[in-house]
């Protein structure tokens, strides 16, 4: 499924770019992160728990930055594996200056496979929407913290 | 106890009375009641037809209530009194319901039949003369792929009419 | 061909009419006593000490290369007995026998995925452990690395240049393709007053989802190399033909043992991949292994019914409504592996013109693989899809040309006095009276009152519609039709075996070559034998189930394809006739008369002229087996008779794709009345009639039960049952949580009618009839289209019409009409 959107951050573009490209900061925006490891500036892995079903769905997730054009564009490939679920996702964002603020256009192509995908179809969209909202809100907070620092 | 420090209990000894006989067995904590009946107690009359509690092939009567035994853990049945299809007939003497099922050709492959009989038994205990609509509602939770339910409803109705 | 006699008038059977003999009566079923007490033996009821439970690791990807499979973590778990991977399977077995010509012939199929996963849920590895739960846990520790590939989920684009190819060795997604051309379609089109063109119709994927899942308990005898499989395979003859060469052993090393089976409906024919995996495990671990399919596995990874697209349909019609023929391009979606396919590419030809007298028919047929569950001969197999096409054509043409759907059917039906009727491709419809069945169905739903009911529904804000579904249940295949698809296949004709013996204490014992799953074979066999031997069905012991070690069987033995009443009972009759002859001969020797002077009645062999001179069966059995000194040397009596019934078939003409493909044709004509809520698309079936004609009914209650059951399955398929896939190849109805099958409240009020047009070609005048032919689907589609007429005349183009689809037809009737065009002279 494809999701996309736009968000405005009240901070300069350089600040937003810096937050988005700092693995340790990005990890804090991800929902349900239980641990994360940075391997280099393009690769990192994490263990996450997504709220789906009793006890949540645990996945081990690996991320790779596949493309970037500082300070305006980056693209990532994300793979996740859990019990009964495999996730493959490609996401990218585009930053442009909007006065003192920054406009971010983002998109993600999410593929979910396995019994969880078969049975969870009707709850998938609401959960994806919920996760996206969570990420964007956390991102906003990270950006504000960085801007005021 | 504080959350997170509870000892993990992997098995438990349960005592269950089935069709008048009391069994005491140690059972895996996550073992379903239907598997306990079929595998531990060798009562293979109740059947498994699905993974999600939709088909009713596993229906039994527990403490007087019709339940789907795949939707209960064996440990939850500790101390309970259970009736399964094997306990319906008295020795060689089939019940009126069982005879009616045969007379009306209410079974073909027989796989849903134990669950159907338990649902019908539970219905007739609470409502001795059910209407067709009440019968259909009572067996709504029992899937049959062979009969189209026509003769099953007739068989149950016939018992209600002649009792 | 033996001389055929058409029966003078079909017999309309009233309930309660006295019948001569046991055949034709509703005797109590022998199977019931054990089944109503829960004492049936289904394979999962059987246990072996220390057996291992099998759980399969399955691909989440619909299409992916398998880069590595690591079972080491699973093997480390205490209680895990062992594992099996695709690499082992590729070394230890040969690919399964493929029925098709190239490209299908080059597709390789193994017990586990080898190198590639081709549908979501395909088994990739197996884990065996001391409990069901532990096997499942351990399977989660198996690590499989996949390289995802693009999945193909639409058969219509399987042949396009950029479509993903599932089987690299075949180089194509085409399993089989060919053109069938009978009569002269172009001449028909030239003669027509109108040609109705229909762009696309779609027969949806669904299956009969038997309540008992597939499975087996397999033991391996290390000393003899014999596998014993307690299972629910419904066609062990064919199962062995696939498994033995794959395992590189002789057929006799595979013993199939079945007793009670919880429904099969064609879904327990292609179990050989799973069984081979379990055979390998039983041998590798030197331990009995047990596998029971989960419901989710049955829906995702066992078998579906064939999905079929019909495109570019053209129907030439005369002004008076006479239909001259049709042409169509059919694309069949058989999922990831052919298996029993491509037989579906020819089996529809048993009913090429449906119930109608079309003489000019052209079908371009292609079958392709897609990244979906493989298919197997689900109830109605391939004929149902084609008969749905013919019924949709009749209704759409009638609607577009303003013809009455009842009149146009009667005008075009094969007429009662035309039987036996030869179809354009050489099939012989043995007997029937379609117009009569239709009249009975219409009477049962009080057809004359429909217009009044329509107005009444309108006043309540509802749209009422009535629809007819005519169908045929062709039974007893001529397997020679497979040669039309692949001339190198060495299959033709058909057969079935039965043995009947008289034991020492006078017990009559019957063994069947068939594998019953609820059809009451023990009961009907005993009726036939009792009539021949002059005793009661209670005196006959029919061995329950089938054991290939002990039950005599033949190449085509099994229970499938609506044929038991002909082949199974034909074999039983033959064996019983042989036994009766032997009993009379033996009695004549003992009583000192000629065999013609002897009759079998009331459990005795006695002289017709002097019934006091009688030998009870027990005496005959005892004399021959235990007290036989002094009997003539050339007596030639064993009292243990085996008979192979072979239906009269010729090999088809492969060039013209012509010949008799099935022996019998049962009829079912249904009528449905629906009421649609125009605001929501929700509809209710408010009246329903099903009329059946299957020739002589051996046990009318059993026949009626089959009609009920087939109707329920058809109604499920018409409204709720479907197997849709998303773009990633995930099945969206993977178990009963989402796949809704009818329950008791879903069933409409159903009325039944029966006539008996005996078959001139069968030993008992009976015809096979279990599959039904999907009449319920045809009738519901017709009723919905009729109900929606007033709202822009939308066209029903899908076999499955859930409420949201009906709502869409109501919202945008023009969209459905866009594919229909009438070209008039």
Q: Do C524 and C402 belong together in one domain?
A: no
C-alpha closest to that of C195 among C313, C48, C34: C313
d(CA C489, CA C97): 11
Residue B145 lies in a domain: yes
Task: Give the list of residues 6+ apart from residue C189 with CB closer than 8 angstroms, or none.
Answer: C195, C314, C316, C324
Concatenated DSSP letters of C131-187: SHHHHHHHHTT-EEEEEE------GGGTTSTTSPPS-TTTTSSEEEEEEEEES-HHH
- Assigned domain for C577 exists: yes
Among left, alpha and beta (phi > 0; psi -120 to 50; other), residue B28 is beta
Among B87, B108, B125, give the residue marking a domain's end. Answer: B87
- For chain C positions 203-222, those within 8 Å of chain B (CB to CB) are 208-213
What are the chain B neighbours of C263 within 8 Å (beta carbons)?
108-109, 111, 145-146
Asked if the structure places residue C10 within a domain, the reply is: no
Q: Which residues, listed in sequence order, are joined to residue C508 by a DSSP beta bridge? A: C502, C540
Q: How many domains does chain A have?
A: 1
C288 and C322 in a single domain? The answer is: no
Measured between CB atoms, which of A85, A88, A121 is closest to C148?
A88
CA nearest C478: which of C654, C320, C633? C654
Q: What is the pLDDT confidence band of residue A2, given thresholds at 50, 70 and 90? A: confident
Cβ-based neighbour number of residue C727 at 10 Å: 12
Most distant CA atoms of chain C, gap in Å: 88
C-beta separation of C21 from C576 below 8 A: no
Domain enclosing residue A115, as ranges: 2-148
Tokens read off for C718: 């018409």
**Shortest CB distance from B51 goes to which of C37, C294, C517?**
C294
> For position A122, which CATH number holds?
3.30.530.20
Both C636 and C729 in one domain: the answer is no
- Contact present, C712 and C452 (Cβ < 8 Å): no
Q: Are B27 and B38 in contact (CB under 8 A)?
A: no
Residue B88, CB-side half-sphere exposure with 13 Å CA sphere: 30
Sheet with strand C116-117: strands edge to edge: C116-117, C64-70, C143-148
SS3 category, A63: strand
Residue B7, pLDDT score: 82
Q: Which of C712, C774, A4 is nearest to B146 (CA)?
A: C712
| pLDDT tens, residue by residue, A83-130 | 778 989 999 999 999 988 999 999 999 888 888 788 776 777 787 888
Q: Is residue C281 a contact partner of residue C84, using CB atoms and an 8 Å limit?
A: yes
In a domain? residue C490: no
Q: Which of C140, C728, C738 is the closest to A83 by Cβ?
A: C140
Peptide bond before C342: cis, by omega within 30 degrees of 0? yes
Distance CA C472, CA C775 (A): 8
Positive or negative, the Cα torsion across A7, A9, A12, A17?
Answer: negative
Angle at C31 between CA C26 and CA C37, to 5 degrees: 120
Cα–Cα separations (whole angstroms), residue C776 to C389, C395, C434, C745 = 14, 15, 16, 17
The predicted structure's pLDDT at residue B1: 43
Confirm whether B3 is domain-assigned: no
Residue B5, domain member (yes or no) = no
What are the pLDDT digits (tens) for C736-746? 999 999 999 99
Residue in A58, A113, A114 to test binding to C, most C beta-carbons within 10 Å: A113
Q: Do C734 and A113 touch (CB under 8 A)?
A: no
C396: which 2 tokens?
């759409």
Distance CA C397, CA C192 (A): 13
Q: How confident is the model at residue C4 (pLDDT cuts 50, 70, 90)?
A: very low
Q: Are C70 and C196 contained in the same domain? A: no
State ipTM. Answer: 0.97
With tokens 């199962």, the residue in question is C239
Which of C110, C112, C115, C347 shows the shortest CA–CA distance to C242? Answer: C110
Pairwise CA distance, residues C632 & A48, whole Å: 88
CA atoms within 13 A on the CB side of C107: 30
- Quick check: C300 contacting B, CB < 8 Å? no
Residue of B nearest to C752 (CA): B150
B-contacting chains (≥3 CB pairs under 8 Å): C
Residue C1 confidence (pLDDT) above 60: no
**Could you write out the DSSP letters of every residue in B74-104?**
GGGGTT-EEE-GGGTSBTTB--HHHHHHHHT
> What distance in Å separates the CA atoms of residue C458 and residue C192, rounded to the nearest whole number?
38
Question: Given strand B11-18, what is the order of strands in its sheet?
Answer: B21-28, B11-18, B81-83, B59-62, B65-68
Within this chain, do residues B16 and B82 fall inside the same structural domain, yes or no? yes
- Per-residue pLDDT 10s for chain B (163 aa) are 445 567 888 999 999 999 999 999 999 999 999 999 999 999 999 999 999 999 999 999 999 999 999 999 999 999 999 999 999 998 889 999 999 999 999 999 999 999 999 999 999 999 999 999 999 999 999 999 999 999 999 999 999 999 7
- Count Cβ atoms within 10 A of the Cβ of residue A70 and give its class: 0-12 exposed, 13-18 middle, 19 or more buried: exposed
Average pLDDT over residues C512-531: 94
Question: Contact at 8 Å (CB) between B120 and B138?
Answer: yes
Instruction: Select from B52, B84, B141 the Cβ nearest to the Cβ of C735.
Output: B52
Q: Which residues contact C504 (CB under 8 A, 6 or more apart)?
A: C618, C621, C622, C625, C626
- Asked whether the beta carbons of C165 and C172 are under 8 A apart, the reply is yes
What C677-680 contacts at long range (C-beta under 8 Å, 24+ apart), as own/partner pairs, is C677/C461, C677/C462, C678/C461, C678/C462, C678/C463, C678/C791, C678/C810, C680/C803, C680/C807
> Which residues on chain A are in Cβ contact (under 8 Å) with C120?
113-114, 118
Instruction: Note whether residue B2 is domain-resident.
Output: no
pLDDT category of residue A146 using cuts at 50, 70 and 90? confident
> Using CA atoms, how far apart are residues C7 and C822, in angstroms rounded to an integer?
41
Q: Which has the closest alpha carbon to C746: B115, B121, B142, B97? A: B142
Same domain, B151 and B83: no
Q: Is the CA virtual torsion C231, C232, C233, C237 positive or negative?
A: positive
Strand partners, C794: none
Instruction: Spell out which residues of chain C touch residue B103, defining contact as CB-CB under 8 Å.
Output: 28
Same domain for C277 and C323, yes or no, is no
Which chain A residue has the Cα nearest residue C148?
A88
Strand pairing report for C463-477 and C662-676? antiparallel
In terms of Cα–Cα distance, which of B147, B54, B151, B62 is closest to B109?
B147
* Average pLDDT of span C667-672: 98
Q: Are residues B83 and B108 in the same domain?
A: no
The residues, ordered by sequence, that sit 6+ positions from C638 with a Cβ below 8 Å of its Cβ are C582, C624
- State whether residue C38 sits within 8 Å of chain B by CB: yes
Q: Is residue C16 part of a domain?
A: no
Please report whether residue C27 resides in a domain.
no
Q: Is C750 on the interface with B (CB under 8 A)?
A: yes
Range scoring the smallest mean pLDDT among A60-64, B113-117, C523-527, C783-787: A60-64
Cβ-based contacts of B86 with chain C (< 8 Å): 37-39
Asked whether residue C631 falls in the same domain as residue C717, the answer is: no
Minimal Cβ distance to A113: which of C296, C730, C737: C730
Cβ–Cβ < 8 Å for C343, C349: no
Domain match, B19 and B69 both: yes
Do B28 and C131 make contact, defined as CB atoms within 8 angstroms? Answer: yes
Structure tokens, C423: 């179809």
Query: In the predicted model, what is the mean pLDDT of chain C?
Result: 95
710-749 in chain C: CB under 8 A from chain A: 726, 728-732, 734-735, 737-738
Domain count, chain C: 3
Query: Cβ-count burial of C184 within 10 angstroms (0-12 exposed, 13-18 middle, 19+ buried)?
Result: middle
Q: CB-CB: which of A83, A84, A113 is closest to C61?
A: A113
What tokens does C243 get? 């498994």
User: So what's the pLDDT on residue C15?
Assistant: 56
Residues of C in contact with B43 (CB under 8 A): 38
Chains linked to C by 3 or more Cβ pairs within 8 Å: A, B
Please, are residues C411 and C324 in contact by the beta-carbon 8 Å criterion? Answer: no
Alpha-carbon distance C343 to C365, whole Å? 12
In chain A, count of helices (H) and strands (E)? 4, 7
Report pLDDT digits (tens) over C32-58.
Answer: 999 999 999 999 999 999 999 999 999
Chain-chain contact of C211 with B47 (C-beta, under 8 angstroms): yes
At residue C499, does pLDDT exceed 50? Answer: yes
User: How many domains in chain B?
Assistant: 2
Which of C597, C625, C645 delimits the end of a domain?
A: C645
Closest CA in chain C for residue B88: C37
Residues in C touching A115 (Cβ below 8 Å): 60, 296, 734
B59 lies within 8 A of chain C by CB: no
Mean pLDDT of C751-755: 96
Query: Given CB atoms, is C520 within the 8 Å cutoff of chain B?
Result: yes
Q: Which of B62, B87, B112 is the last residue of a domain?
A: B87
The whole-number pLDDT of residue C698 equals: 94
Q: State whether A113 and C60 contact (CB < 8 Å).
A: yes
CA C417, CA C712: separation in Å to the nearest integer? 32
Our CA-based measurement puts residue C806 at a distance from the nearest CA of chain B, in whole angstroms, of 24
Distance, CA of C659 to CA of C488 (rounded, Å): 18
Residue linked to tokens 């694309």: C331
Q: Looking at residue B61, which CATH number applies to its domain?
A: 3.10.20.30
What residue numbers bound the domain in which B69 lies?
11-87
Specify if B1 maps to a domain.
no
Shortest distance between the Cα of C137 and any Cα of chain B, in A, equals 12
Which residue in chain C is spatially nearest to B142 when comparing CA positions? Answer: C743
With an 8 Å Cβ cutoff, is B80 touching chain C?
no
In whole angstroms, what is the distance from residue C425 CA to residue C491 CA? 20
C569 vs C21: CA distance, rounded Å: 16
The answer to whether residues C83 and C222 belong to one domain is: yes
pLDDT at C684 over 60: yes
pLDDT exceeds cutoff 50 at A141: yes
Whether C485 is in a domain gets the answer: no
Which among A60, A118, A119 is the top mutation candidate for probing chain C, defined by the most C β-carbons within 10 Å of its own β-carbon? A118
Tokens of B74: 């064996």
User: What six digits make up the tokens of B157?
Assistant: 């109705």
pLDDT at C16 over 60: no
- Under a CB-based contact definition with an 8 Å cutoff, are residues C594 and C608 in contact? no
Q: Do A121 and C735 touch (CB under 8 A)?
A: no
Is there a single domain that holds both residue B25 and residue B70?
Answer: yes
Nearest to C296 among B51, B144, B148 (CB): B51
Residue written as token pair 């849920």 = C121
pLDDT for position C8? 43
Last residue of a domain, one of B64, B87, B110: B87
pLDDT of residue B2: 47
Per DSSP, the residues of C341-400 read TTTHHHHGGGGTTTTB---EEEEEEEEE--SS--B---TTTTHHHHHHHHHHHHHHHHHH
Residue C705: which CATH number?
3.30.365.10
Let me know if residue C677 belongs to a domain: yes
Give yes or no: residues C107 and C242 share one domain: yes
Find the domain containing C604 and state its range: 495-538+554-645
Looking at chain C, how many residues does it have?
Answer: 825
Same domain, B66 and B130: no
Location of structure tokens 């078959």? C759
Residue-level pLDDT at C13: 55
Task: Count other Cβ atoms within 10 Å, centred on residue C406.
Answer: 17
Q: Which residues of C fall within a CB distance of 8 Å from B27?
A: none
C131 touches chain B (CB under 8 A): yes
The b-or-e profile of C363-372 (16+ CB within 10 A means b, else e) is bbbbbbbbbb
Phi, psi of C451 (to 5 degrees): -65, -35
Range 128-147 of C in CB contact (< 8 A) with A:
140
Length of chain A: 149
Name the residue facing C747 among B43, B110, B148 (closest C-beta). B148
């Amino acid at each position: 499924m494809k999701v996309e959107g736009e968000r405005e951050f009240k901070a300069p573009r350089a600040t937003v770019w810096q937050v988005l490209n700092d693995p340790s900061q990005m990890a804090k925006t991800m929902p349900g992160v239980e641990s994360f490891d940075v391997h280099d500036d393009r690769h990192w892995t994490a263990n996450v728990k997504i709220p789906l079903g009793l006890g949540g769905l645990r996945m081990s997730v690996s991320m790779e930055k596949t493309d970037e054009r500082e300070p305006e564009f980056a693209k990532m490939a994300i793979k996740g594996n859990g019990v009964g679920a495999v996730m493959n996702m490609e996401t990218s964002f585009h930053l442009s200056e909007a006065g003192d603020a920054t406009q971010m256009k983002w998109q993600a192509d999410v593929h979910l496979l396995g019994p969880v995908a078969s049975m969870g179809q009707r709850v998938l969209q609401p959960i994806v929407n919920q996760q996206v909202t969570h990420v964007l809100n956390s991102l906003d907070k990270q950006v504000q913290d960085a801007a005021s620092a | 106890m504080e959350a997170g420090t509870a000892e993990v209990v992997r098995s438990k000894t349960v005592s269950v009375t089935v069709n008048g006989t009391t069994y005491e067995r140690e059972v895996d904590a996550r073992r379903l009641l239907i598997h306990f009946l079929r595998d531990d107690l060798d009562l293979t009359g109740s059947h498994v037809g699905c993974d999600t509690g939709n088909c009713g092939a596993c229906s039994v009567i527990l403490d007087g209530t019709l339940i789907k035994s795949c939707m209960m853990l064996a440990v939850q049945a500790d101390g309970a009194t259970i009736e399964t299809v094997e306990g319906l007939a008295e020795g060689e003497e089939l019940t009126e319901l069982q005879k009616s099922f045969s007379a009306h050709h209410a079974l073909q492959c027989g796989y849903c039949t134990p669950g159907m009989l338990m649902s019908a038994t539970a219905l007739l205990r609470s409502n001795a003369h059910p209407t067709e609509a009440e019968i259909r509602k009572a067996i709504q939770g029992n899937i049959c792929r062979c009969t189209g339910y026509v003769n099953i409803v007739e068989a149950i109705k016939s018992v209600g009419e002649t009792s | 061909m033996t001389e055929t006699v058409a029966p003078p008038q079909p017999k309309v059977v009233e309930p309660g009419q006295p019948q001569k003999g046991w055949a034709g009566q509703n005797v109590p079923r022998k199977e019931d006593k054990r089944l109503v007490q829960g004492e049936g033996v289904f394979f999962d009821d059987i246990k072996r000490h220390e057996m291992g439970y099998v759980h399969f690791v399955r691909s989440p990807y619909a299409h992916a290369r398998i880069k590595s499979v690591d079972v080491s973590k699973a093997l480390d778990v205490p209680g895990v007995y062992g594992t099996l991977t695709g690499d082992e399977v590729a070394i230890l077995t040969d690919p399964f026998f493929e029925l098709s010509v190239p490209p299908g012939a080059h597709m390789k199929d193994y017990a586990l995925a080898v190198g590639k996963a081709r549908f979501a849920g395909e088994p990739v590895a197996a884990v065996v452990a001391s409990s069901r739960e532990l096997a499942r846990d351990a399977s989660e520790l198996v690590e499989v690395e996949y390289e995802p590939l693009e999945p193909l989920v639409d058969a219509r684009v399987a042949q396009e240049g950029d479509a993903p190819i599932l089987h690299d060795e075949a180089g194509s997604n085409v399993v089989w393709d060919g053109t069938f051309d009978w009569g002269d379609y172009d001449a028909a089109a030239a003669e027509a007053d109108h040609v109705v063109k229909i762009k696309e119709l779609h027969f949806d994927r669904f299956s009969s989802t038997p309540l008992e899942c597939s499975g087996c308990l397999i033991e391996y005898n290390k000393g003899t190399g014999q596998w014993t499989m307690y299972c629910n395979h419904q066609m062990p003859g064919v199962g062995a033909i696939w498994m033995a060469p794959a395992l590189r052993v002789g057929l006799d090393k595979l013993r199939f043992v079945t007793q009670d089976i919880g429904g099969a409906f064609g879904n327990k024919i292609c179990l050989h991949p799973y069984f081979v995996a379990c055979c390998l495990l039983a041998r590798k671990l030197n331990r009995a292994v047990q596998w029971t399919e989960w419901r989710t596995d049955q829906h995702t990874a066992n078998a579906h019914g064939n999905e079929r697209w019909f495109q570019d349909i053209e129907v030439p019609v005369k002004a008076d409504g006479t239909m001259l023929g049709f042409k169509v391009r059919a694309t069949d979606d058989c999922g990831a592996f052919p298996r029993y396919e491509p037989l579906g590419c020819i089996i529809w030809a048993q009913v090429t013109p449906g119930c109608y007298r079309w003489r000019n028919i052209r079908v371009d047929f292609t079958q392709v693989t897609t990244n979906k569950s493989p298919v197997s001969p689900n109830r109605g197999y391939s004929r149902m899809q084609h008969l749905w096409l013919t019924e949709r054509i009749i209704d759409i043409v009638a609607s577009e040309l303003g013809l009455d759907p009842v009149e146009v059917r009667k005008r075009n039906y094969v007429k009662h006095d035309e039987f036996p009727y030869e179809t354009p491709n050489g099939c012989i419809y043995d007997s029937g009276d379609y117009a009569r069945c239709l009249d009975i169905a219409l009477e049962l739903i009080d057809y004359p009152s429909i217009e009044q009911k329509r107005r009444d529904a309108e006043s309540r804000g509802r749209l009422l519609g009535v629809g007819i579904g005519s169908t045929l249940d062709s039974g007893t295949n001529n397997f020679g039709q497979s040669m039309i698809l692949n001339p190198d296949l060495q299959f033709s004709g058909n057969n079935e075996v039965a043995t009947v013996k008289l034991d020492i204490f006078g017990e009559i014992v019957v063994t069947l070559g068939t594998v019953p799953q609820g059809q009451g074979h023990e009961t009907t066999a005993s009726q036939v034998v009792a009539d021949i031997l002059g005793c009661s069905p209670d005196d006959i012991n029919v061995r329950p189930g089938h054991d290939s070690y002990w039950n005599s069987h033949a190449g085509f033995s099994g229970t499938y394809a609506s044929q038991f009443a002909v082949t199974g009972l034909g074999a039983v009759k033959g064996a019983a006739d042989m036994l009766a002859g032997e009993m009379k001969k033996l009695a004549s020797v003992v009583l000192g008369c000629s065999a013609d002077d002897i009759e079998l009645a009331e459990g005795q062999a006695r002289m017709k002229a002097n019934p006091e001179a009688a030998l009870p069966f027990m005496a005959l059995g005892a004399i021959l087996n235990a007290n036989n000194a002094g009997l003539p040397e050339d007596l030639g009596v064993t009292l243990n008779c085996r008979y192979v019934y072979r239906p009269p078939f010729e090999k088809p003409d492969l060039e013209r794709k012509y010949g008799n493909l099935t022996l019998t044709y049962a009829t079912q004509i249904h009528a449905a009345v629906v009421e649609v809520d125009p605001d929501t698309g929700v509809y209710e079936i408010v009246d329903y009639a099903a009329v059946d004609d299957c020739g002589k009914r051996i046990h009318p209650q059993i026949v009626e039960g089959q009609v009920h059951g087939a109707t329920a399955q058809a109604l499920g398929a018409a409204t709720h049952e479907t197997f849709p896939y998303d773009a990633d190849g995930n099945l969206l109805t993977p178990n009963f949580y989402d796949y809704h099958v009818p329950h008791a409240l879903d069933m409409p009020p159903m009325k039944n009618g029966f006539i008996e047009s005996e078959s001139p070609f069968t030993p008992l005048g009976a015809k096979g009839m279990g599959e039904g032919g999907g009449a319920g689907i045809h009738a519901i589609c017709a009723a919905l289209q009729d109900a929606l007429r007033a709202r822009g005349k939308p066209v029903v183009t899908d076999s499955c019409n859930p409420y949201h689809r009906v709502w869409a037809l109501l919202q945008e009737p023009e969209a459905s009409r866009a594919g229909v065009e009438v070209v008039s002279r």
